[in-house]
Amino acid sequence: MNDDQLVDRPTSSPPAFAVTSGRERGYHRAAVDTFLASARKAFETGSDDLGADDVRIASFPLVKNGYVVADVDAALGRVEDAFAARERERAVRSEGAGAWVERARSDAQVILDHLARPRRRRFARTGILTFGYRSDEVDHVSSRIVRYLRDGDPLTAEQLRSAAFRMQRGGYREEQVDALLDATIDVILAVR
């Protein structure tokens, strides 16, 4: 299926989010609407079919006349927060608050141990001819994470969700950096 086949057809109801125009691409409207309807149903029924992790990794095709990416991403952040709060509440009810706090503390320590590595060596690197995240930019965000976990400096899940890194040859491997950011978001949401 090509991008032209993914263009949404106008509907009688107003769009849920602002729509891109001109050459700008946005998230496929029907894909977003379907995902959010599934998320709403799972949340309202208390189903475990969808959770905070599923919301975090949701992705949508980019098409002309799609939803504005920033608007959808902000909404997905709120949906993820709601699922995370529900998951925390369930875990506290079944395991107790002490176990929940201990798990969050243990996860935070794993992150801190990883980030204790020297700057520019905190993550595996791509090959010299392959692009990865700029190490100096990732190290800057990593330092903010350390200050949050160790010293209590302010840092929000939204700030980490919106972190974007330029690319460089021989940079940090994206999947490792993304996994650590996701783990940190989990810790932030766990202690809210």
User: pLDDT, tens digit, for every residue of 108-123?
Assistant: 999 999 999 999 999 9
User: Is the pLDDT confidence value at 46 over 70?
Assistant: yes
Q: Is residue 68 pLDDT above 60, yes or no?
A: yes
Tokens of 150: 């160790």
**Span 128-139, mean pLDDT?**
96
> In Å, how far from its chain's centre is CA 58?
9
Give yes or no for residue 1 having a pLDDT over 90. Answer: no
Distance CA(135)–CA(148), nearest Å, equals 20
- Only one residue has tokens 């783990």, namely 183
Tell me what the mean pLDDT of segment 14-33 comes to.
94
Lowest mean pLDDT, pick from 3-12, 30-39, 40-49, 121-130? 3-12
Classify residue 187 as exposed, middle or buried by CB count within 10 Å of its CB (0-12, 13-18, 19+). Answer: buried
Confidence of residue 93 (pLDDT cuts 50, 70, 90): very high
Is residue 10's pLDDT more than 70? no
pLDDT band for position 4 (cuts 50, 70, 90) = very low
Mean pLDDT value of segment 174-182: 95
Asked if the model's pLDDT at residue 191 lies above 50, the reply is: yes
In the numeric block, the tokens 């709060």 are attached to 85
**Model's pTM, two decimal places?**
0.77
Whole-number pLDDT of residue 13 = 76
For residues 106-130, one letter each, b for 16 or more C-beta atoms within 10 angstroms of the residue's C-beta and e for the rest, the string is: ebbeebeebbeeeeeebbebbeeee
Distances (CA, A) of 70 to 62, 63, 67, 170, 184: 13, 14, 9, 29, 21
Residue 192 binned pLDDT confidence (cut-offs 50, 70, 90): confident
Q: Is the model's pLDDT at 64 over the cut of 80?
A: yes
Q: Kindly tell me if the per-residue pLDDT of 58 is higher than 70.
A: yes
Residue 24: pLDDT above 90? yes
Distance CA 8, CA 63 (A): 8
